[in-house]
Amino acid sequence: MAAPMRLKSTLAVVTGGGSGIGRAICQRLSQEGASVAVVDVNIDSANETLQSLSRGVPGQDHVVLTADVSRSDSVLAVMEQIQSRFSAPPRVAVNSAGITRDEFLLRLSEESFDSVLSVNLKGPFLITQAVARSIVSSGQNGGSIINIGSIVGKVGNLGQANYAASKAGVEGLTKTAAKELAKFGIRCNTVLPGFIATPMTDKVPQKVLDKISGMIPLGRLGQPEDIADVCAFLASDDSKYITGTSIEVTGGLYL
Ligand code: NAD
């Protein structure tokens, strides 16, 4: 079924757009008419995403921007490049960049803890702040910020103390941003994926994935497109009265 066209004339920035969930989000937003800034630390994969984007709407213009979202100078440079190319702030921002450094708590290094928190939590903070500042300073209110959390942030997971903490933090950040930014018409929500088949979960042994599939009421791992569907809804005016919430997209896992 063809995607609706809810995002014509909308500029969206998607971090982690080079792979997995972020790539599917870039594709879906472009299918709905948005111009997309694909942000990723990996320029080759971001360029692959760029090649796959829809260009069906006159004026649609996509760009790849290389950045490390955990660095404020890098995020600032992204915002400057967006401003000079589009002469407008992004109205939609999706924070999908994320990493894992799994290890049991008793062996977890400080470096692994810090690196996961830097990308998964500080990254969304820096992007949320930068995008909100650019919207506010444009004098034209309105926007939607979507953070990709994880169901693991709610329930924990063996070997993921750093990751679960970062994703729980994302929900707190998002709820606070929603309260502070509502007066500027900026909505902020978190999407909580369950287990989604992407390069990130390719690292999980097949035996474990089979076990998880068996625990999912809908009977399968999620696909990146399952998350992209929800992000497109949150990006669009169809969700105009929704802010500060978290939407679980898990196939019913951990109900
Ligand atoms: P992925 O590994 O396929 O993609 C992550 C992307 O983020 C990659 O392109 C990578 O280059 C980019 N990236 C990593 N560090 C970066 C940085 N510092 N700056 C900019 N880009 C960076 O992973 P995915 O499965 O698509 O995950 C996307 C998001 O969804 C992550 O936040 C992840 O935690 C979350 N998530 C995934 C699952 C899952 O089952 N796959 C479940 C819950 C949540």
Quick one: which H or E segment has residue 153? Answer: helix 152-155
Give me the mean pLDDT over the 90-111 stretch.
98
Out of 20-34, 110-124, 159-173, 203-217, pick the least confident: 203-217
Per-residue pLDDT at 2 exceeds 80: no
Handedness of CA 147, 148, 153, 159 (dihedral sign): negative
Task: Answer whether 243 contacts ligand 1 (Cβ < 6 A).
Answer: no
pTM confidence score: 0.98
CA of 201 to the centre of ligand 1 (A): 10
What's the confidence (pLDDT) of residue 255?
67
Strand, coil or helix: 147: strand
Q: Is 254 one of the annotated active-site residues of the chain?
A: no
Among residues 3, 173, 202, 136, the alpha carbon closest in space to that of 26 is found at 3
CA of 139 to the centre of ligand 1 (A): 32
What's the confidence (pLDDT) of residue 204?
85
Ligand 1 atom nearest the C-alpha of 70 is 18
Please tell me which residue in 125, 163, 195, 233 is annotated as part of the active site. 163
Domain definitions of the chain by residue range? 11-197+224-249
Per-residue pLDDT at 9 exceeds 70: yes
Give me the mean pLDDT over the 170-191 stretch.
99
Task: Answer whether 216 contacts ligand 1 (Cβ < 6 A).
Answer: no
Of 13, 19, 73, 116, the one to substitute when testing ligand 1's pocket (max ligand atoms within 8 A of C-beta) is 19
Give me the mean pLDDT over the 43-53 stretch.
98
CATH of 11-197+224-249, one of 3.30.450.20, 3.40.50.720, 3.40.50.300, 3.40.50.150: 3.40.50.720
Distance between CA atoms of residues 203 and 162, nearest Å: 17
Task: Answer whether 17 contacts ligand 1 (Cβ < 6 A).
Answer: no
CB 122 within 8 A of CB 168: no
**What's the mean per-residue pLDDT of the chain?**
97
